[in-house]
Amino acid sequence: MVLPIHGETTFRRSAEIRNTTSKAVISQDICSLMFAAQACCHIEHGDGRRQARVRPPGSSCFIHSSSLQLSVMRVVVVLRLFVSFLPTLLKNQLMSTSSLVRKLLSRQDSAVGASGLLVAHGLNVTPTGGAVRPLEGVTVLDLTRVLAGPFATMILGDLGAEVIKVERPGAGDDTRTWGPPFVGSESAYFLSVNRNKKSVAVDMKHPRGVKIIQELAGVCDVLVENYLPGKLRQMGLGYEQLSRGNPQLIYCSISGYGQTGPQAQSPGYDSIVSAVSGMMHITGPEDGEPVRPGVAMTDMATGLYAHGAVMAALLQRHKTGRGVHIDCNLLSSQVSCLSHIAANYLNAGKEARRWGTAHESIVPYQAFRTRDGFLVVGAGNNQQFVRVCQVLELPELAEEPKYKTNNLRVQNRQQLLDTLSNRFLQESTADWLKRFEGSGVPVGPINSIQEVFAEPQVKHNGLIQEMQHPAAGPVTVPGPAVRFSSFSPSGPTPPPLIGQHTVQVLRDTLSYSDDVIRTLLESGAVAQNEAF
């Protein structure tokens, strides 16, 4: 076995039992290497009886394993890691010895092959026999509900993280009841953003429930929460309190308005913050009232920001060995997304207005009614405008001096749009799509949701994801938006039932005995779904 530790310390032992190679990602930074028992590698024993998982974040490891030597080498690896890191641990005080041992031995099924080759390289490694997803070995404690937080943690789960979702016994996430429609007893809303998660039902008002959350935070890499600022601190679950026991913890707080400031204690749903942030002011018909966007875009944007912030914090931790507190909120996320609308006001003092489907600064760039529907056309430059005129068989428009530049077209907006609108009404949407094909002009129909999921490109991009839910049966949700060349996102596990994984997590992650788990269940501090 070869294990480079911080560049120099190594130890060797090699014997190949089978032609089976497993790989994992192990970080070269000291603290991540200490989580070797939580690496993301799969070990196939020589007798083929079982697979054991070892799951630290980081670079690659190749393991050939004999089950006879498994226990011995597990102890050897732990001792070698401990001895190698002891000087650094004492110097930097990154974690206590007890925390280290708990990290290394937290899973009953964790093991390291007795013989083989283990090589630590870095973060970006593609293993033989199947790509490792970037967040395999990262454990996320999810204390969020509704949309922004669950959306962020779902993306982390898609990328390979183990997501432990904490829910109230009996009630669960608020969105479990947001319907109709329901699929069986599960709301379609909840199903949409909770795949690839384990559900643990914990009563956080129970003293023992709080203790369980503290212990989970001690062995997790990331915690994401969306309580009112200060609420978790009152319960002993704030960043300062939890980071003392786990200095590497990345703690992401999602709120309506931020952790500090005059509105910090105000509750915030998407629609409320969408109004406060100006999003509703600029959304709706040109001469109509403000309109709520059809999807909770403020929540979704915040979820994306939170996901990106967690990824950045993981990279920073790889460099520094320490975690960080992230303040992510709906107001900041939405205001930052005002982009040119905000810049128009901040730099030119120009107040925004509603434009329907049109664009304030580009003409033509909007929906046009056709003979049987709508077509959205965007001419973002002069060359595209010329092509629009050619497709519409109105080449003379491109020669008109008052339409020569976008600035002039904006100034003469209404006259130009009247001419274009009359022409689009003469043919069907399908006919116009054929005419524009190959023109280089961006165009598209306004699809119904049924038409969206019938689109060949939507199917090709893997945006229809099917899962077998334990209670609801077959469920289908939108798949991950991003694809990668060297790995595929998780192929997904269905959204969990309330408390589906309570006993599993208490036993496997916290190493609780059956007697302790039974006592917790009887006390009401936790609950296990009866179906499991």
The tens digit of pLDDT for each residue in 99-140 reads 444 444 443 333 333 323 223 333 333 333 357 889 999 999
Tell me which amino acid residue 521 is. Answer: L
420 token code pair? 């274009």
Q: Give the model's pLDDT for residue 184.
A: 87
| Predicted pLDDT of residue 8 | 31
> Average pLDDT, stretch 415-422?
98
Over residues 313-345, the pLDDT tens digits come to 999 999 999 999 999 999 999 999 999 999 999
Please compute the mean of the pLDDT values over residues 58-86 and round it to a whole number. 45
Mean predicted confidence (pLDDT) in 274-298: 95
pLDDT range class, residue 37, cuts 50, 70, 90: very low
Catalytic machinery residues? 299
Q: Are 199 and 506 in contact (CB under 8 A)?
A: no
pLDDT score of 492? 85
Q: Could you tell me the pLDDT band of residue 80, with boundaries at 50, 70 and 90?
A: low
For residues 120-131, one letter each, b for 16 or more C-beta atoms within 10 angstroms of the residue's C-beta and e for the rest, the string is beebebebeeeb
Rounded Cα distance between 303 and 144, Å, is: 11
40-54, 93-107, 122-136, 250-264: the lowest-pLDDT one: 40-54
Alpha helices in 34-96 (DSSP H): 70-92
Instruction: Convert the pLDDT of each residue in 342-398 to its tens digit.
Output: 999 999 999 999 999 999 999 999 999 999 999 999 999 999 999 999 999 999 999
- Whether the pLDDT of residue 508 is over 70: the answer is yes
Average pLDDT of the residues of the chain: 81
Q: Report the predicted TM-score, pTM, of the whole model to 2 decimal places.
A: 0.75
* Helix extents (H) in 25-180: 30-33, 70-92, 97-105, 148-158
Mean pLDDT over 429-449 rounds to 97
Rounded mean pLDDT of 510-531? 95
Q: Domains of the chain by range and CATH?
A: 139-350+471-527 (3.40.50.10540), 374-445 (3.30.1540.10)
From residue 74, how far is each of 33, 63, 137 by CA, in Å? Answer: 15, 13, 18
The confidence score (pLDDT) of residue 130 equals: 53
Answer yes or no: is pLDDT of 66 > 60: no
pLDDT of residue 79: 55
Percent share of the chain, pLDDT over 90: 71
Highest mean pLDDT among 31-40, 296-305, 479-488: 296-305
Q: Please give the full DSSP string across 287-338, using - where no structure is assigned.
A: TS-----SS-HHHHHHHHHHHHHHHHHHHHHHHHS--EEEEEEHHHHHHHTT
Q: What is the pLDDT of residues 191-216, one digit of tens each?
A: 999 999 999 999 999 999 999 999 99
* pLDDT value at 92 more than 90: no
Mean predicted confidence (pLDDT) in 477-494: 87
